[in-house]
Amino acid sequence: MSTPEEAEQQAARDAERRRSAGGYGGVGRSGKLDESIVHGAPSRELLAEWAVIEIDRDEVIYSTRRGGAPITFFKRLLARLLRQYFIELEARQTRFNIAVLERLEQVEQQAAHGAGGAQPDGGRQAPHRESP
Amino acid sequence: MTTVHQVLSSAGPYDAVSVQARLWRQLLTAQGHGGADYAASVDPRARGDFQPLQRLPAEGADLLIIRYSAHSAALMRVLERPEPKLVVYHNVTPPGYFWNHHVGVALACAVGRAQLPRFARAATVAAGDSEFNAAELRAAGAADARVLPILFDPQRLEPRGTPPAGEGPMVLVVSRLAPNKRHDLAIAAFAAWRAEHGVDARLVCVGEPVSPSYGELIAGLAASVDGGAVTLAGGVDQPDLNAAYAAADVVFSMSEHEGFSVPLLEAFHFGVPVVARPAGAMPEVGGDAVLWDRADDLAVTAELLQRAVCDPQLRQSLAERGRARLAEYEHARTAERIAGAVEDALSQGASSRLGRVRSEDLR
């Protein structure tokens, strides 16, 4: 009789045997979602992607009610009517996000090169580099 | 009669936290407590059981049971109230899973995890529904957080609706379509098993998507499997879910993060074998009654599905172990622990009220 523990081991052996015989072509690892997204800080590339606010309203405006189609239609119509306002809101938020990201990059560069302390020009000057 | 209110961040028709609130209400009523259930956000389909949190009476409660699973500003205000509080922590999913798919949910999770210490400090009695969750509460500052397991009610699993249509072995995944549940991997492993073993099997995924766009993403993956073998059934009523369990050959999970995983117990109830990754609280709940996928290799996952479906002796062994695990979650036993926690919170609340009154008298 095969116990669950034996079955787990046997499954690993069977997978290996089938792979050796040319099976499971293209079948890869399961793995976990990127740890940097799930448990740590998002990468700089991802932050840059998130900084630009661009919302697909059809994607985020909907109703979960039974027979909610007319409500969804009305909500989307309302968003369309307010489009001018939302675009300005998104643009201003994006302007702020990008400015913060640029400033963050300057601070990181200063920290990486041991500059320490704030620079008189607010960090706009090129970071000091020591000659090798 | 004592008045015991329950408050939630959000209430819906199918989610585990709302289901627990409903079962606890039945238990509280049977134990002679009054009160009602409130949520900061109530899905229109759950309005029969939950009221908006704004309607929570300003005073007169003997105990507030706070079910914590996501941030809500309205829930934070409940912490400032003077009544004793039993905080039940159901886990807040790490926000990283959601940033790319639903920013609102990600924010609720990020702030929710950051605010956990405030809930831990405000609790008269603190509890997690698993040791995994209780440990997070302790780390957040609730030194004596206890475990109050999910109240498992087998009667809910009795009514039978319509099983999913189709022929052939049926693999069942029961969970919200969300990034941490990894339906992408479940579909990939299922497709690999089907192709390698030539099995005319079908995969049925029960659960609502976290957002329409994420639902479309998973629907695209499902459509890539030949022969329409993957069905995304959406949210289904309990009788139809029961029928799906009864018709399933294996219950399957590739989830990466679980605070408890009620479908494990439901699968045990129906005697259906389970193949799952040992994520979060799942090993604690499933114990030795699950075929654990520890290999990080979808080919091994496919082989586990093959064994779970085609090895009758293994199926019998898993069913027996599942029944033994289920005994640990027997309704009367859990109900007794819940009653104990409610009584402790009520009596500690009464003592601290008495203390306040005496100190005011002495002034």
Walk along chain B (363 residues) in steps of 10 and give the mean pLDDT of each run: 96 93 97 96 93 94 96 92 96 92 89 94 96 97 94 95 95 97 97 94 96 93 92 95 98 97 97 97 98 96 97 96 96 96 90 64 59
User: What mean pLDDT is predicted for residues A65-93?
Assistant: 90
Which of these, A106, A97, A92, lies nearest to A46 by C-alpha position?
A97
Per-residue pLDDT, B188 = 96
Per-residue pLDDT, A123 = 46
Residue A84 lies in a domain: yes
For B169, the 3-state DSSP assignment is coil
pLDDT over 90 (residue A26): no
**Confidence grade of residue A124 (pLDDT, cut at 50, 70, 90):** very low
Amino acid identity for residue B186 in this structure: A
Residue B279, Cβ neighbours under 10 Å: how many?
20
Class of domain B160-328: alpha beta
Residue B239 and residue B222: Cα distance in Å, rounded? Answer: 25
Q: Regarding the domain with residue range B4-152+330-362, which homologous superfamily does it belong to in the CATH classification?
A: Glycogen Phosphorylase B; (3.40.50.2000)
pLDDT over 60 (residue A116): no
Per-residue pLDDT, B353 = 66
Per-residue pLDDT, A128 = 45
Residue A18 lies in a domain: no
Residue of A3, A24, A46 lying closest to B299 (CB–CB): A24
Q: Which residue from B minimizes the CA distance to A62?
A: B212
Is B196 in CB contact (< 8 Å) with chain A? yes
Is A129 in CB contact (< 8 Å) with chain B? no
Question: With an 8 Å Cβ cutoff, are A30 and B213 in contact?
Answer: no
| Number of compact structural domains in chain A | 1
Residue A132 lies in a domain: no
For B29, the 3-state DSSP assignment is helix
Is B107 in CB contact (< 8 Å) with chain A? no
- The phi and psi torsions of A52 (rounded to 5 degrees) equal -85, 110
Per-residue pLDDT, A18 = 96
Residue A123 and residue A108: Cα distance in Å, rounded? Answer: 11
Determine the structural domain holding residue A80 and report its residue range: 31-112
Burial of B363 (0-12, 13-18, 19+ CB in 10 A): exposed
Helices and strands (H and E) in chain A: how many: 6, 0
Angle at B211 between CA B24 and CA B13, to 5 degrees: 25
Residue A78 lies in a domain: yes
Residue B71 and residue A15: Cα distance in Å, rounded? Answer: 43
Per-residue pLDDT, B361 = 62
Which of these, B162, B195, B185, lies nearest to B276 by C-alpha position?
B185
Angle at B315 between CA B310 and CA B321, to 5 degrees: 160
Question: With an 8 Å Cβ cutoff, are B298 and A30 in contact?
Answer: yes
Is B98 in CB contact (< 8 Å) with chain A? no
Question: With an 8 Å Cβ cutoff, are B97 and A38 in contact?
Answer: yes
Residue A20 lies in a domain: no
Q: Which residue from A minimizes the CA distance to B94?
A: A38
User: What mean pLDDT is predicted for residues A80-87?
Assistant: 92
Residue A96 and residue B99: Cα distance in Å, rounded? Answer: 19
pLDDT digits (tens, 9 = 90+) for A33-70: 877 677 777 788 888 888 988 888 887 888 877 788 89
- Whole-model pTM: value is 0.85
DSSP letter for B125, please. Answer: E
Contact B185, B254 (CB under 8 A): yes
Residue A45 lies in a domain: yes
Residue ranges of the domains in chain B?
A: 4-152+330-362, 160-328
Residue B357, min C-alpha distance to chain A (Å): 46
DSSP letter for B306, please. Answer: H
Amino acid identity for residue B63 in this structure: L
Per-residue pLDDT, A1 = 55
Note the ipTM here. Answer: 0.84
Residues from chain A that touch B211, judged by Cβ atoms under 8 A, are 59-60
Residue of B96, B192, B293 lying closest to A24 (CB–CB): B192
Which of these, B10, B242, B202, B3, lies nearest to B105 by C-alpha position?
B10
Is B346 in CB contact (< 8 Å) with chain A? no
Residue A5 lies in a domain: no
Sign of CA dihedral A16, A20, A21, A25: positive
pLDDT digits (tens, 9 = 90+) for A11-23: 999 999 999 999 9
Question: In Å, how far are B68, B76, B146, B251 from B8, measured between CA atoms?
Answer: 7, 11, 19, 29
Q: For testing the chain B interface, which of A1, A3, A27, A32 should be mutated: the one with the most B CBs within 10 Å?
A: A27
Residue A15 lies in a domain: no
